[in-house]
Structure 1
Amino acid sequence: MKFTLSWLKDHLATDASLDDIVEIMVAVGLEVEDVENPEERLSAFTIGEVIEAEQHPDADKLKVCRVATKDGEMQIVCGAPNARAGIKVAYAPVGAYVPGIDVTLSKAKIRGVESHGMMCSVRELEMGDDHDGIIEAPASAQVGDPVASVMGVNDPVIDFEVTPNRPDTNGVNGVARDLAAAKIGDFISPDPKPIKGDYPSPQKVELDFPEGSENACPVFAGRYVRGVKNGPSPKWLQDRLRAIGLRPISALVDITNYMSYDRARPLHVFDADKLQGVIRARLGKKGEKLLALDGKEYEIDETMTVIADDSGVLGLGGVMGGEDTGCTEETTNVFIECAYFDPLRTAKTGRKTGINSDARYRFERGVDPDFILPGMEMATQLVMDMCGGEPSEVELAGAVPQTDNTVLFPPAEVKRLTGMDVAPEKAEEILEALGFTVRKSDPWQVDVPSWRPDIEGKADLVEEVARIVGFDHLPTETLPALKPVETPKLTPGQDRRRMARRVLAARGMLEAVTWSFLDEKHAELFMSAEEIKAKGLVLANPIASDLGVMRSSLLPNLISALQRNADRGRDDLALFEVAPIYAGDQPADHQNAAGGARLSHPTRHWQGARATADVFTVKADAIAALEAAGAPVASLQTSADAPDYFHPGRSGVLRLGPKALAHFGEIHPRVLKAMDVDGPVHGFEVFLDQIPASKKKPTKTRAALDASEFLPLTRDFAFVVEEGVTAETLLKAVRGAEKKLIADVSLFDVYQGKGVPEGMKSLAVEVTLQPREKTLTDEEIEAVSARIVAQVEKATGGTLRG
């Protein structure tokens, strides 16, 4: 919202400086974003006088002028047709920045003649659109006077942010009311005087809404004015509109823009001779179209409020009028519309059409319904003052919405809620200055003005008093001292997620943050369509068509992210994410997971292509995340019943008893093809909430180092077992043979072929023995080896390979 200082002073009698006004605006909650002072911006430009203007020797359209300036006489080459001796001009010296042409002047030669500076046009100084010639300043201007002062463009412009709860400050008079309440001046805002109509309006208006939709436009006022002469608006009005960034068009159009910014009251003026029949405010009909004032055609539907006559739609209520009935220089009879439109319906219409207009901005935030008839009187007076004409009686359909709102307000609430000690008399003075009516009872009864829809309860009135008194008067208190003993900062669940992130990053993976939603087609690859719907994972109002389902797994979005990177040349990448997944729409169905995916397209190497990821890599990723999160990894079992979006035979599940803690493996080619991803891709998913809670109390104390002073020793064993026996079963059997001495068991070879019977396989393991009390003798080592062989034979039926 922008306005000029002189415009503000139409509503605020004050001698305060610009800086003081800005300071008070900020103090009362009107956040000033920028102040532009044209006098400072145009400070380099001064008045000069053309002493002599001779024809350029080498150019028919150029003149060589001798100009008296504050810097002495200057020779300036000029191509303006009105350049002549005796006129006062806007002089720009060498080094000045000319905003209208975005050029910093330098000494130049034009067709062989030196030119020292420039004589500027209105457009070149951004004072208007005229570019037919250079500025001709008044003859009374003195050489060296600032151009901004002489030409009357020295009015500072204040730009501030209107908060959504203060629609009244969309008008200059609303800003002035706040400033007057803060005692920086006196509020000037006389009610418009009623204008007696000379005849009944020949143009009739009606409301035509189905039951239940009457609030779309509860009241519609109109007035016919005949015999107007539409031309340029007065200079004062054009100057104000230009200063706030609006282009003056004609008196009738400029009046509507002025009303929007002066009183936050949008209106529309129709060319009455272009109207056919009764004007109706109604809901739109499918198939209707409107050619709007912005030159674009918009489709209408049944949710929109439209203004229409017998020929069709004339405008979108509260948003924009139509081009076909707009006013032109030939307009002689007009019909002024002043109505109230539902804010929510107006906002929805604006979003559907994409129209951003001053009218929409104000109506969707709420305009003052009680100002409909006074606004009509004010607009009529402006039309008559600028364009003449004879007004009709006001035509009114519907009734002004009731805005009666009385708040019970104990004055002591100011002290209770803010700590500010404000006398009741002071609070009463502030509220009345802001337009409230105070009736002193116990508690006070405060009538809220119609232009303040944001006031609902006593806390809102406390805020009004506090902001006018000044938030800088809020009492300050020292915070209580911290407790000497710090309490834990993270919950166990937060700590698990933090540790999982750290270990996965340490394994060379990059963290990703993806949507909690995904495309329905991708979701059905990881959970059946029937299950997705049954569990309520389909969003009723998705933010995008490809984000319509809550994710049941982290993998789909990570896989898609891998492909997006591959499309940009990064096809050897590992991503992970620690985030929520959803098994249903109930709170208990929400769980935290750590997932990762690796896309491995090996680069060329002189030793041959080497893959950087396989099923064992992601298994190790999953185990590392589980261990970091506190899972007892030594007790985990591996099974081959991974979900069907993994490749069978190249995937697995890490379990603790019957509970699945993680899935891992190669993503099924069927899934990758459906997602248009170039594989292979390997992934894992760890379910952090499934990890059993630690039985030990959390502590920051490090456990004692459990190291042995004796060197470890290793022994290799190769067992022949049936083909169906898993390596996990064998490893578990070896670990259980001697728990005190066996520190580690690892598989290092799997063999099938010559020397191994058909249907059998050889599994070779390395066993690390860690003595703790003494060095082991050969006999003790042999005894341990015998126990290992016996345990494996018992658990798997396997025998030592000969």
Structure 2
Amino acid sequence: MKFTLSWLKQHLETDANLDTIVDAMVAVGLEVESVENPAERLAAFTIGEVLHAEKHPDADKLKVCRVATKDGEMQIVCGAPNARAGIKVAYAPVGAYVPGMDVTLSKAKIRGVESHGMMCSVSELEMGDDHDGIIEAPENASVGDPVAEVYGLNDPVIDFEVTPNRPDTNGVNGVARDLAAAGLGTLITPTPEPVSGEYPCPQKVELHFDSATSDACSAFSGRLIKGVKNGPSPKWLQDQLRAIGLRPINALVDVTNFVSYDRARPLHVYDADKLKGAIVARMGKDGEKFLALDGKEYTIDETMCVIADENGVLGLGGIMGGEETGCTEETVNVFVECAYFDPLRTAKTGRKTGIASDARYRFERGVDPAFVVPGLEMATKLILDMCGGSPSEIELAGTVPTPERNVLFPPSEVKRLTGMDVPPEGAEKILNALGFGVAKSDPWQVDVPTWRPDIEGKADIVEEIARVVGFAHLPTETLPLLKPVETPKLTIGQNRRRLARRALAMRGMLEVVTWSFMDERYVGLFADEKELRKKGLVLANPIASDLSVMRPTILPNLISALGRNADRGRDDLALFEVAPVYHGDQPEDQVSVATGARHSSPARHWQGENPPSDVFVVKADAMAAAEAAGAPVASLQTTTDAPTYFHPGRSGVLRLGPKVIAHFGEIHPGVLKAMDVEGPVHGFEVFLDAIPASKKKPTKTRPALDASELLPLTRDFAFVVDDDIVAETLLKAVRGAEKKLITSVSLFDVYQGKGVAEGKKSLAVEVTIQPREKTLTDDEIDAISAKIVAQVEKATGGSLRG
């Protein structure tokens, strides 16, 4: 919203300077974005007088002029057709920046003749669109006078952001009212004078709505004005509109723009001779179209409020009028419309059509319903003053809304809610200045003005008083110190996530943060799409087309990230994310998961290539994250029933009894192909919420160091077992043979071939034995070995390999 300082002073009698006004606006909550003073932009330009003008010796269209300026007599070469002796011009000296040309002037030779400065046109100084010749200043202007003063361009323009709750400040009078309440002057907004109609209005207006849509346009007023003479609007109006960035068009259109910015009241003017039958406000019909004033054709539907006659749609209510009934310089008879349209329907229509107009901006935020008829009277008076004509009586269809809102307000609320000491008489003065009516009963009864739709309760009244007094006067007070209570700093879940992140980072993986959504195209690869829809995980209004489903797993996001990096030459990354996934739309359906994915292309190294990622690497990743989060990894069992998005022969599941703690393995080649990612890729998922809570009470005391002074010893065993025996079964049997002394068991070889019977395989393990109290004798070591062999035979049916 923009306005000039002189425009503001048409509504506010004040001696305050520009800086004081801007500071006061900010203090009362009007967010000033910028202040532009055209006088500063045009400070370098002054009035000069052409003394002589002779033809350039080497150019037919150029003239060499002697110009009297504030800097003395200057020689200026000019190509304007109206350059001649005796005229007053706008002089730009060497070094001046000409905004319309985006050029800084320097001394130059033009066809061999020196030129010191420039005589400027209207467009070159951005004072208008005329560029046919140089400016001819008024005869009473004196050499050296600033151009800005001569042309009244020393009027600062204030631009501020209208907050959605303050539609009344879409008009200059609303800003003036706030400043007057803040003590910056006296509000002098004139009340529109009624214009007597000279004859009954022959143009009828009607409302055609049912009970469900009657609020679309509750009041439609208008009047006919015959015999107008449309043309350019007066200079004062053109200057005001041009100063705020609006292009003057003609008097009729300029009046509607002026009233819209002056009183926040949009109107529309029709060429009455182009209308047929009654003007009707109704809901649109599917398939209807109309050509708007912006030159574009729009399609109407049944949710839109339209203005129509017998020929069809004339405009969209509260949005924009049509081109076919627009006013031109040939217009003689006009019908002026001033109506009240529903803010919500206006906003929806605006979003559907994409039309961004001043009318829509104001109607969707709310205009003053009580200003329907006064706004029409104001526009009528301006049109008669500028264009002449004979007005009819006012035609009104419907009923002007008269919202009566009364708030019970105890004055003590100001102190209670803000801590500010505002005496009752001060609060009453502020409310009266803002247009509120105050009946001083107990509590006060405050009548809310019709232009303030944002005021609903006593807290809103308190805010009005506080912002006018100034939020800078809010008292500051230190909160009382509370007795500190020692509580856990992190929940179990937060601690698990933190520890899992640390464990995966220590394994060389990079943490990423991806969206909580995934591409619907890939849903079927990782979950049952119908089930997700049933659970409400498919979004009705996604922020992007490829983020339309709440992710049931993080793997597709990580795989996509690996693919994007590989396309840019980084195919050696290992990524992880510890974040929630979603199994439904209820709070309990959100599950914390530590997920990782590795591209199986190791980076080159001077010591030789690292081994590629495989199923065992990601199993180790999963085990590390699970162990860090508190899972008893020694008790985990490995099964092969991983989800279908893993390779069926190169994947597994870590279980703790019936609970699934993790999935790991190679991502199925079909999944990678569908996602256009070159593999192989290995991944894992650790379900942190499935890990049982520790039965030990949390303590900051470190456990006693469990280290032996005796050296450990290792023994290797190779067992021949059936081909279908899982290595995990054998490892578990070895660990259980002597739990106190066996500290580690690892598989280091799997062999099938010569020397091993068909249907059998050899599993070789390394067992670490840690003596505790004394060095073990050979007999004691042999006894442990015998226990190991016996335990394996019992668990797997295998035997030592010969």
Q: In the alignment, residue 84 of structure 1 is paired with which amino acid?
A: R
Q: Distance in 2 between matches of 1:694 and 1:292?
A: 70
Report whether the alignment pairs 1:379 with 2:409. Answer: no
Q: In structure 2, what residue type is equivalent to 1:434?
A: L
Could you tell me how far 1:708 is from its partner in structure 2? 2.9
Structure 1, 320-329 or 580-589: larger mean CA deviation? 580-589
Partner of 2:359: 359
The structural deviation recorded for 1:611 is 6.6
Structure 1 residue 336, shift from structure 2 partner: 0.9
SS of residue in 2 equivalent to 1:525: helix
Aligned to 1:18: 18
Coordinate RMSD, CA, aligned: 2.1
Give yes or no for contact 2:663–2:685 (8 Å, CA) kept in 1. yes
Question: How far is the alpha carbon of 1:463 from its aligned partner?
Answer: 0.4
CA distance in 1, matches of 2:248, 2:774: 100
Distance apart, 1:367 and its partner CA: 0.6
Q: Decide whether the 8 Å contact of 2:305 with 2:316 is kept in 1.
A: yes
CA pair 417-723 structure 1, distance change in 2 beyond 3 A: same
Cα 1:334–1:695 change in 2 (3 A) is same
Instruction: Indicate the residue corresponding to 2:299 in structure 1.
Output: 299
Q: Is the 8 A contact 2:601 2:613 kept in 1?
A: no
Q: Does 1:184 align with 2:184?
A: yes
Relative to structure 1, is the Cα distance of residues 251 and 612 closer, same or farther in structure 2, using a 3 angstrom cutoff?
farther
The equivalent of 1:627 in structure 2 is 627
Q: Map 1:113-512 to 2 at 5 A.
A: 113-481=113-481, 487-512=487-512
CA drift of 1:608 comes to 9.9
3-state SS of paired residue (1:238): helix
Aligned partners of 1:701, 1:162: CA distance in 2, in Å? 59
Equivalent position SS for 2:290 = strand
Distance change >3 Å, CA 489–CA 73, structure 1 → 2: farther
Deviations 1:401-425 (A, max 9, x none): 2311000001111011111111111
CA contact (8 A) 2:218 2:400 kept: yes
Is it true that 1:661 corresponds to 2:681 in the alignment?
no
The CA deviation string for residues 714-757 of structure 1, in whole angstroms up to 9 with x for no partner, is 22221111111111111111111222222222111111111111
Query: Match for 1:443: what amino acid?
Result: P
Counterpart for residue 37 of structure 1: 37
Alignment TM-score, normalising by the size of structure 1: 0.96
Q: Matches of 2:598 and 2:160 in 1, distance apart?
A: 51
1:42 and 1:483 mapped to 2: Cα distance?
Answer: 64
SS in 2 for 1:125: coil
Q: Which residue of 1 aligns with 2:754?
A: 754
Counterpart Cα distance in 2 of 1:368 and 1:174: 11
Is structure 2 residue 525 aligned with structure 1 residue 525?
A: yes
Q: Percent identity?
A: 80
Counterparts of 1:703 and 1:333, CA distance in 2: 96
**Whole-Å Cα distance in 2 between the matches of residues 112 and 620 of structure 1?**
84
Cα distance in 2 between the residues matched to 1:571 and 1:355: 47
Kindly indicate whether the alpha-carbon contact (under 8 Å) linking 2:11 and 2:190 is maintained by their aligned counterparts in 1: no
Query: C-alpha offsets along residues 197-255 of structure 1, whole Å, 9 cap, x if unaligned?
Result: 11122211111123311111111111111111111111111111111111111111111
Distance 1:455 1:228, change over 3 A: same
- Stretch of structure 1 that moved more, 785-794 or 335-344: 785-794
Q: Over residues 130-189 of structure 1, what are the superposed CA-to-partner deviations in whole Å (9 max), with x where a residue is unaligned? A: 111122222332332222112211100111111100000111000100000001000012
Q: Which amino acid aligns with 2:37?
A: N
One-letter identity of the residue aligned with 2:319: V
Residue 49 of structure 2: aligned partner:
49
Query: d(CA) in 2 for partners of 1:335 and 1:48?
Result: 47
Task: Supply the AA of the counterpart residue of 2:88.
Answer: K
1:505 CA drift (Å): 3.4
Give SS of 2:780's match.
Answer: helix
AA at the equivalent of 2:707: A
Compared CA separation, residues 148 and 730, structure 1 to 2 (3 A): same
Question: Which amino acid in the other structure matches residue 457 of structure 1?
Answer: G
- Whole-Å separation in 2 of the counterparts to 1:706 and 1:88: 101
1:782 equivalent in alignment to 2:766? no
Residue 705 (structure 2) pairs with residue 709 (structure 1): no
User: Match for 1:642: what amino acid?
Assistant: A
1:418-467 alpha-carbon deviations (Å, 9 max, x no partner): 11111111111111110010111111111101000000000000000111
**1:267-294 CA distances to partner (integer Å, 9 max, x unpaired)?**
1111111111111111111111121111
Query: SS where residue 123 of structure 1 aligns?
Result: coil
Q: For 1:773 and 1:78, locate their aligned partners in 2 and report how far apart those are by CA, in whole Å.
A: 109
Q: How does 1:584-599 map to 2 (within 5 A)?
A: 584-599=584-599
Aligned AA (1:335): F
Per-residue Cα deviation, 1:75-102 (whole angstroms, up to 9, x for no partner): 2222111222222222222222221121
Does the residue aligned with 1:215 lie in a helix, a strand or coil? Answer: coil
**Shift in Å, 1:603:** 7.3
The residue type equivalent to 2:792 in the other structure is V
Separation in structure 2 between the aligned mates of residue 563 and residue 117 of structure 1, nearest angstrom: 62
DSSP 3-state at the match of 2:178: helix
In the other structure, the counterpart of 1:574 is 574
Counterpart amino acid of 2:76?
Answer: I
Q: Which moved more, 1:586-595 or 1:135-144?
A: 135-144
Mapped to 2, the partners of 1:212 and 1:481 lie a distance apart of: 57
Question: What is the alpha-carbon distance in structure 1 between the residues aligned to residue 14 and residue 430 of structure 2?
Answer: 18
The AA in structure 1 aligned to 2:67 is V
- 1:784 CA drift (Å): 2.2
| Worse-matched range after superposition: 21-30 or 286-295 | 286-295
Give 2:97's aligned residue: 97
Aligned mates of 1:156, 1:717 — CA distance in 2: 93
C-alpha separation between the residues in 1 aligned to 2:557 and 2:616? 22
Separation of aligned partners in 2, 1:50 and 1:482: 81
Letter in 1 for 2:491: T
Aligned to 1:112: 112
- Helix, strand or coil at the partner of 1:214: coil
Per-residue CA distance 1:553-600 (angstroms, 9 max, x = gap): 112233233333444444443332222211122222121112222333
Figure out how many residues of one structure are paired with residues of the other and give that number.
802
Q: Matched residues in 2 for 1:257 and 1:7: separation?
A: 14
In 2, Cα distance between the equivalents of 1:769 and 1:66? 109
Give the AA of the match of 2:348: K
Q: Is the CA contact (8 Å cut-off) linking 2:602 and 2:613 kept in structure 1? A: no
CA, structure 1 residues 724+307, in 2 after alignment: closer, same or farther (shift >3 Å)? Answer: same
Q: Secondary structure at the match of 1:647?
A: strand
User: Measured at CA, do residues 619 and 424 of structure 1 come closer, stay the same or move farther in structure 2, by a change above 3 Å?
Assistant: same
Which region of structure 1 is more displaced relative to structure 2, 403-412 or 740-749?
740-749
**Runs of 5+ unmatched residues, structure 2:** none
> SS state of the match for residue 420, structure 2?
coil
Question: Take 2:611 and 2:282, find their aligned partners in 1: how far apart are those partners?
Answer: 68
Q: 1:222 to 1:506 in 2, by over 3 A?
A: farther
Change over 3 Å in CA distance of 1:700–1:11 after alignment to 2: farther
Structure 1 residue 320, shift from structure 2 partner: 1.1
Q: Which deviates more, 717-726 or 111-120?
A: 111-120
**Distance in 1 of aligned mates of 2:85 and 2:316:** 54
1:661-740 → structure 2 map (5 Å cutoff): 661-740=661-740
Q: CA 1:388/1:643 → structure 2, altered by over 3 Å: closer, same or farther? A: same
Return the letter of the residue paired with 2:551. Answer: R
- Gap regions ≥5 residues in structure 1: none
Q: Partners in 2 of 1:653 and 1:236 — Cα distance?
A: 81
1:562 maps to what in 2?
Answer: 562
Moved more, 16-25 or 531-540: 531-540
CA distance in 1, matches of 2:84, 2:487: 85
For residues 101 and 442 of structure 1, the distance between their equivalents in structure 2, rounded to whole angstroms, comes to 66
Give, in angstroms, the shift of residue 606 of structure 1. Answer: 11
Q: Deviations over 1:519-540 (max 9, x none)?
A: 4342232222332233332334
1:783 match: secondary structure: helix
